[in-house]
Structure 1
Amino acid sequence: MEEGVSTFFPDYKNWDRNEYKRKQAESIQILAHGLKSDTSLVIYDDGLGQKPENFENTFLSLLKGNKNEVHFVQGKYNMGGAGAVVFCGDKRYQLIASKYYDKSSEFGFTLVRKHPLTKTENKTMRNTWYEYLVINQAIPSFEIEELDLGLLNRKFTTGTILKLYSYQLPTGVKSISNELNQSLNEYLFNPALPIYTIETKERYPNDNQLNRHLYGLRDRLEEEDSKYVETKFSVDIRDQKFGKVKVTCYVFKLRSEGKNSTETSKTIRARYFKNNMPILFTISGQVHGHLGTGFISQSLKFPLLKKHLLIHIDCSEINSDARSELFMASRDRIKEGNVSRLLRRKISDALKSGQLKEINALRKVSHSVEGDDVDEILRNMTRNLPIQDDLIKLLDQTYILDDNRKQSKKKKKSATKNTKANKPVFNPKRFPSFFKINGNHPHKDGVTLISVPLNGKRQLKFSTDVEDAYFDRAQEPGEMQISLLGPELRGNGENPTPKNPEPRKLNDVFDIVKSSPSKGEIRIDLEPNSEVAVGDNFEIKVNLSSPSGELDQIFLVKITEPKKKENTDQPGEHPDNKLSLPQLIRVYEKEEEGAKKRNTWDTVDEKGVSFSHHIVVRPIESSDGLSEIYVNMDSTAFLNFRSKLKTPEQMDIAEKKYFSAIYFHTLFLYAITKNQKYSINKPAVEGENPEDVDITDYITDLFSASYAQFLLNFDTQELIRSFEA
């Protein structure tokens, strides 16, 4: 697609500037006509156009496949325009009009509709059909110089017009230049050309911005002055079975523009996740399927990032067989199957071991300042929980009930201290000046030797001084090429023999994952596929582009015996593998003058844990389970309960009852839901896609909906006495 754009639109690099982008967007316009309650859409395209005599082989044909060999356009069955007619009101009317770009033909038009069955046809026909208008067995046409169709800044001369009468817009979409514009931005993640969406003053007299252009969500995410994107990076994955995909991750800030984390999260959702699509699969810039936040929290095991991460998977270069197995013709979801599972596993493996893991670790830093009194209370309660053995067993499957967090914290603290190194400050350059492989690898005849087990993978790290965005920036991007040199060799002796006289491509023998630069480091994962055997040797060249001359590294890869699989116990099967109880962190609205330092709403908000009076609890999930449970000591539920008490002793007991009840109920709800393998989602509303709901969010909502008040006010002994009365 990029090659097609650069060939036909040589000034496309100027489209990062709004004045050029708006000018180009005038060539494709979507206009609203009619009443707000009965909207018709006009789609204008200043493209090739068609002659009237060619309508039947283009606009009006089905399954002709006239785009199969044009790789930078969408569609292959010639059904795009026809597919929209089923949403054109009850009678399915659609106008198609066009004039060829060189003005060598007349302006042709036709009207498509669903055939209205007569009474007789209703009795004899099982189905209706679609038909189009002809006059004297020909597409009607007439001469024009120009037509005033209400287009922005121009009149129609050549190109194509498609009018969709009484179009059934998704629920929640009203204004074409607002809600529809936003949805198109998401579904056309990276369109070839910018587009205008245009409303009318008659429909929205109070709207001051009736015309809005769009250039896809990628354009909005990569704006240089983005207020919400903290960082982005990419990973290239090459696999023998499905080909190549490029995965780009956009990590959002926890707080922006002076807003707290809740307000920032809401703004990010409104701007970038209107249709609940945090994981996007695209072909030639158009979304063909998506996944929910469950992939982030469950597959990647980065729940802290579930509301602050957008992942774009560009599938434009996957092979044809994989494409047909992966995507539905409707382009609205991913098929379940072997290819889908393989692709998700490859993406998950690549992201879990790279830059995203480091970002998640940074956001995991605790803000706890709790003291020994709370630790002791929890230890005593877990030793003496007044519950039945089967409930204890449920918790004991996952957690160590005798709290040993102090020991864990000490170990972690000392480990962290030992791993800290005085690294020099990294000063990135726009272009690289050096490139070398890291590590103390053995050498053979002056060439670095890398061993890779047949059933495993090997990650190689390279040092450079180029900026992180080198592979992905819009202006003067660089690239890294990995290639196989010379004939492949087989044998363990001094003189290995050629396996193949002609070298193959590297991805014929290795599945490869390549990351974008991160603070002066580039990572490559090599995983042998089924085409290699123990003893094979491959000479590989890695080349990093640079205006001053290409930088390269050459090394020899030797395939070694498969690694023996280690026996690893599942969490909970052995006491050493169990998790400590999650940390209890009490949070207050603000500091108390003269009192011991404590967590406040503002300090934990810096971590992305937001509170207000109506929020009672925030469980925080790590890759292994619950790591912290934040309890709001200034929730409306507790403040209302405490206001009825009179003595300090009563208030002290009530406080301990409150945070311990919230803590243990949260713990049990989480453990039960996890052990029963429940999945939770909200149904689609207002035209949006269904939304996956994480267990932690569900628990937070549950306590906010009067559950905390119930726990505080419910007394079993009083209930029994009421029955006895």
Structure 2
Amino acid sequence: MTNMVDAVLLKHALARGMDPKSPSAPQTMYEAVDLLIKNLRGGKLINLDHRDPWLRDFAQKNLAIGITGAKSKSEGLPCYTFVDNGEGQHPDNFENTFLSLSAGNKKSIPFVQGKFNMGSSGVLRYCGRRWYKLIVSRRFDGEGGWGWTLMRRRPGDRDRMPVAEYFVMPGGEIPRFEAPTLYPFHTVERKRYDGVHLTTGTIIKLFDYQVGSRFLSFKGARDALNENLAETILPFRILDLRQKPEPKRGGDRALGVDARPFYGMEFLLLNSHREEDLEGEDDAAGTGKLFVGRFTEPNLGEVTISAVSLKRDLPGWLRPQNSNSRVFHAVNGQVQYKQSRGYISQTCGFPALKDRVVILVDASGLSFAAHNEVWKGDREHISNTQDGEHYLDLVTRTIRESDALRDLQVRIAYEELERAAQAESNALFQKLVDKDPTLAGLLSSRDPSIRVPSGGGGDGGGNGERASYSGEYSPTFLTLDDRSGRGLEVPLNRTRILNATTDVENGYLQRPDNPGRVVLDDALRERFSVREHLRDGRLSIHLTPSGDRVQIGDVVQGRIGLVDEGLPEPVFSSPTEIRIVAEAADDTPKKPSTTDGQPRPRAGGATEAGPTRGLPRCVLLTKDGRSVDGHAVERWPEGFSEHDGGEIVDLGDGEVIYKINYDNAYHLRYRLSQRGAVAREVVTEKYILGMRIMLLGYEHSLRSLRDQAGGGEGLGEFLDDFRRMAARGAASTVLAVAENLPKIVDASSIQEVDAE
């Protein structure tokens, strides 16, 4: 798909007589889209409404993918056919393009993606055991006719190194033929599909393609694409030609073809792919896009990080049981590396966001050298090189520092706590703490609802919400704060921050249409890794000395500026002075606070101090979502059963919610064994209270373990599984203990044992 987009852009450039390698050619893919295809005000499909007819029409004529063959694992493997109305190749040029392994023929073209020669060779090992792949192509000007060849793995001893070979005529010539039009797709009834046809361009068919058993269905195939293309640059059409014809439905479905749009992950999350005649398409899962931050580093280049905030109800392909990926590193839209929910929760410190954001790391601005140092050849992992590790460290720091994500974490945590608190009563737990004050040590100091026997006092204020901020389209001023204006001392081994205030809107640095840029003097860019954050009128520039480019005693004069195409010139701050000093011995980071220096309100509603103790919120889970008097209730999560006890949801900042399975088999069995409504309610209250106590102890133990492990980053991937397992075990025993131990063990029974 990467090379298909390249081919279409190159065709349009060549058709205009443009030299793609010349300085006058577009310098980025987005410039190429605006100039050569359609003016999208920044080259981004996201700027179009999903109902724009151009999207569908262009995809059908230029970029289509057809799926044929097997629909299930028992049937075998499907075939994928990729069709582009692009540049195409002369048959005599096949060996230098489709069939080359190291030519790097697009390296000097700035507006294409496929510069690493992975297109032809990368897919072969997934094309069944025989590696069959068909290539058919005709140059856009029609010269040379249609060329074709069939690739395969050379038959022979499978213990030898595999060799890929391709078919040629006697004498080594690529076979060719003449035809005015090709129709690459046929229906299950072997009828020609007229919806896609080519007079020039390229067709590539992958036989028996191993996409993974989970992705064999049409929905599965699209889910796999969702995770691997953050954006497609140009619109695609995906055709499932394996369907049974339905004449009553008309259109493509009458032919047995299910045709769907595909515009990339970001478009899907924010705009949906819904069309009038399509069924089963979800509405947009995202609620908006946030600017997380940007960094530049002399040895790497520029990287921009954004996030799409998600609704509570995740689309199927993003649910934890289907995908653990939440952070997607992409180059020109193509995902190169993924990081998990645990990375957001534990490493970055935003546990409430692990299922409420998708983070997009746009690494398109890395230098060519950095691309080769950072990514492994499979384009699925990070290289353990110095540059690879430094890149990951800068990404993590930029995410951790983000005020936008921190504010979202507070808001979502507050919303979740409010949902859980709607019908909750802690009277029984208060009695328990009164009887055994040691339990108070397990409770948090926030959201006080439980009175500690030795204390008293009131509660704090705040509701977890920040006042809304509305900025200008373009900045009118940029003012350094007092400390930054007086100059900054930066130790060789530390990071220091230049802070400034401005009046520009939050999305200024990442909006698709006329994005703004931070302007820094070259002397700063060349000597420092620079991380940029803009939130609520506060611009923060994090400066970290870069390797051997600085030394103690260096003094750099610099200023910060903001600029966009709507401004005649940048808006600059006053100059300031950056001084390099000796390494700092200790620079332990402090917990973030609000910009005015006041403690940030806690998600549950109180500030840091509080003489009382907060009991974690409790929500009951029922199979069908039915209500239970006196409690907040949610429907079972997907994959839950009557054997599960519940789960613990970490909201960060010490706040958790206990979700207890009301329809647990052990609880219902004990409940039904009781005579009378009152006795049954007593059993239920024992079950809920007992589960809260046992999970409280487990969570306290888990936090201690994480503290001992220095943050517990290695545990991050498994914490939810551990919590769910603990709840399952607790549910199977808590009522046995609560109901039977008082009857079996009492003072008289112990005295009888002593007497014996």
TM-score (norm: length of structure 1): 0.75
Unaligned runs of at least 5 residues, structure 1 = 255-263, 386-394, 443-447, 485-503, 571-575, 593-597, 679-690
Q: In structure 2, what residue type is equivalent to 1:229?
A: G
- The answer to whether the aligner puts 1:449 opposite 2:486 as a matched pair is yes
SS of alignment partner, residue 108 of structure 1: strand
Question: Residue in 2 aligned with 1:357?
Answer: 406
Q: 1:133 to 1:340 in 2, by over 3 A?
A: closer
Q: In structure 1, what residue type is equivalent to 2:212?
A: P
Q: Partners of 1:265 and 1:154 in 2: how far apart?
A: 34
Q: CA deviation at 1:309?
A: 1.1
Q: Partners of 1:711 and 1:534 in 2: how far apart?
A: 66
Question: Residue in 2 aligned with 1:595?
Answer: none
What are the Cα deviations for residues 514-536 of structure 1, in whole angstroms up to 9, with x where unaligned? 124x3444333333445153461
Q: Partners of 1:154 and 1:622 in 2: how far apart?
A: 49
Q: Partners of 2:197 and 2:455 in 1: how far apart?
A: 71
What are the Cα deviations for residues 169-194 of structure 1, in whole angstroms up to 9, with x where unaligned? 32122344x33233223311122322
User: Residue 28 of structure 1 contacts residue 46 of structure 1 at CA under 8 Å; is this kept in 2?
Assistant: yes
Question: Residue in 2 aligned with 1:669?
Answer: 698
Question: Residue in 2 aligned with 1:512?
Answer: 530
- The answer to whether the aligner puts 1:97 opposite 2:136 as a matched pair is yes
What are the Cα deviations for residues 349-408 of structure 1, in whole angstroms up to 9, with x where unaligned? 3333321112212233344464565235136435389xxxxxxxxx99x999xx997589
- 290-299 or 47-56, which deviates more: 47-56
Question: Residue in 2 aligned with 1:524?
Answer: 541
User: Residue 40 of structure 1 contacts residue 165 of structure 1 at CA under 8 Å; is this kept in 2?
Assistant: yes
User: Residue 44 of structure 1 contacts residue 161 of structure 1 at CA under 8 Å; is this kept in 2?
Assistant: yes
Question: Residue in 1 aligned with 2:287?
Answer: 230
Q: Partners of 1:671 and 1:655 in 2: how far apart?
A: 24
Q: In structure 2, what residue type is equivalent to 1:364?
A: A
User: Residue 451 of structure 2 contacts residue 613 of structure 2 at CA under 8 Å; is this kept in 1?
Assistant: no
Q: CA deviation at 1:662?
A: 1.5
SS of alignment partner, residue 291 of structure 1: strand
TM-score (norm: length of structure 2): 0.72
SS of alignment partner, residue 222 of structure 2: helix
Residue number among 678, 697, 719 corresponding to 1:695 in the alignment: 719
Q: 1:227 to 1:3 in 2, by over 3 A?
A: closer
Count matched residues: 638
SS of alignment partner, residue 575 of structure 2: strand
- The answer to whether the aligner puts 1:4 opposite 2:32 as a matched pair is yes
Q: Partners of 1:182 and 1:110 in 2: how far apart?
A: 31
User: Residue 232 of structure 2 contacts residue 333 of structure 2 at CA under 8 Å; is this kept in 1?
Assistant: yes
Residue number among 214, 229, 236 corresponding to 2:262 in the alignment: 214
Question: Residue in 2 aligned with 1:565?
Answer: 586
Q: Partners of 1:273 and 1:218 in 2: how far apart?
A: 21
Q: Partners of 2:397 and 2:742 in 1: how far apart?
A: 53
**Quick one: percent identity of the two aligned structures?**
21
Q: In structure 1, what residue type is equivalent to 2:562?
A: N
Question: Residue in 2 aligned with 1:378?
Answer: 433
Q: 1:582 to 1:341 in 2, by over 3 A?
A: farther
Q: Partners of 1:522 and 1:610 in 2: how far apart?
A: 44
Q: Partners of 2:231 and 2:126 in 1: how far apart?
A: 25
User: Residue 460 of structure 1 contacts residue 525 of structure 1 at CA under 8 Å; is this kept in 2?
Assistant: yes
Question: Residue in 1 aligned with 2:633?
Answer: 601
Residue number among 166, 179, 198 corresponding to 1:132 in the alignment: 166
Alignment of 1:158-307 (within 5 A): 158-176=200-218, 178-200=219-241, 208=253, 210-223=258-271, 227-234=284-291, 235-254=293-312, 264-265=313-314, 269=318, 275-307=323-355
Q: CA deviation at 1:222?
A: 3.4
Question: Residue in 1 aligned with 2:279?
Answer: none
Q: CA deviation at 1:646?
A: 4.6
User: Residue 691 of structure 2 contacts residue 730 of structure 2 at CA under 8 Å; is this kept in 1?
Assistant: no
Residue number among 558, 572, 577 corresponding to 1:552 in the alignment: 572
Residue number among 519, 524, 539 corresponding to 2:558 in the alignment: 539
Q: In structure 1, what residue type is equivalent to 2:381?
A: R
User: Residue 183 of structure 1 contacts residue 275 of structure 1 at CA under 8 Å; is this kept in 2?
Assistant: no
Q: Partners of 2:361 and 2:552 in 1: how far apart?
A: 31
Q: In structure 2, what residue type is equivalent to 1:469?
A: G
Residue number among 99, 110, 117 corresponding to 2:149 in the alignment: 110
Q: Partners of 1:566 and 1:193 in 2: how far apart?
A: 47
Q: CA deviation at 1:318?
A: 2.2
User: Residue 631 of structure 1 contacts residue 659 of structure 1 at CA under 8 Å; is this kept in 2?
Assistant: yes
Q: Partners of 1:275 and 1:432 in 2: how far apart?
A: 39
Q: CA deviation at 1:134?
A: 1.6
SS of alignment partner, residue 699 of structure 2: helix
Q: 1:85 to 1:267 in 2, by over 3 A?
A: closer
What are the Cα deviations for residues 248-287 of structure 1, in whole angstroms up to 9, with x where unaligned? 1111133xxxxxxxxx1355836x9954321101112101
Q: Partners of 1:373 and 1:561 in 2: how far apart?
A: 59
Residue number among 147, 152, 156 corresponding to 2:182 in the alignment: 147
Q: Partners of 1:97 and 1:42 in 2: how far apart?
A: 11
Q: In structure 2, what residue type is equivalent to 1:238?
A: T
Q: 1:360 to 1:506 in 2, by over 3 A?
A: same
User: Residue 85 of structure 2 contacts residue 202 of structure 2 at CA under 8 Å; is this kept in 1?
Assistant: yes
- 139-148 or 364-373, which deviates more: 364-373
User: Residue 301 of structure 1 contacts residue 622 of structure 1 at CA under 8 Å; is this kept in 2?
Assistant: no
Alignment of 1:637-652 (within 5 A): 637-646=666-675
- 650-659 or 312-321, which deviates more: 650-659
Question: Residue in 1 aligned with 2:280?
Answer: none
Q: Partners of 1:352 and 1:165 in 2: how far apart?
A: 44
What are the Cα deviations for residues 187-245 of structure 1, in whole angstroms up to 9, with x where unaligned? 11122322111122655759947111211112223339974323322211123443321
Q: CA deviation at 1:347?
A: 2.9
- 351-360 or 711-720, which deviates more: 711-720
Q: In structure 1, what residue type is equivalent to 2:120?
A: G
Q: Partners of 2:451 and 2:577 in 1: how far apart?
A: 45
Q: CA deviation at 1:457?
A: 3.5
Question: Residue in 1 aligned with 2:505?
Answer: 467
User: Residue 59 of structure 1 contacts residue 78 of structure 1 at CA under 8 Å; is this kept in 2?
Assistant: no
Question: Residue in 2 aligned with 1:42?
Answer: 81
User: Residue 33 of structure 2 contacts residue 39 of structure 2 at CA under 8 Å; is this kept in 1?
Assistant: no
- The answer to whether the aligner puts 1:710 opposite 2:733 as a matched pair is yes
- The answer to whether the aligner puts 1:21 opposite 2:48 as a matched pair is no
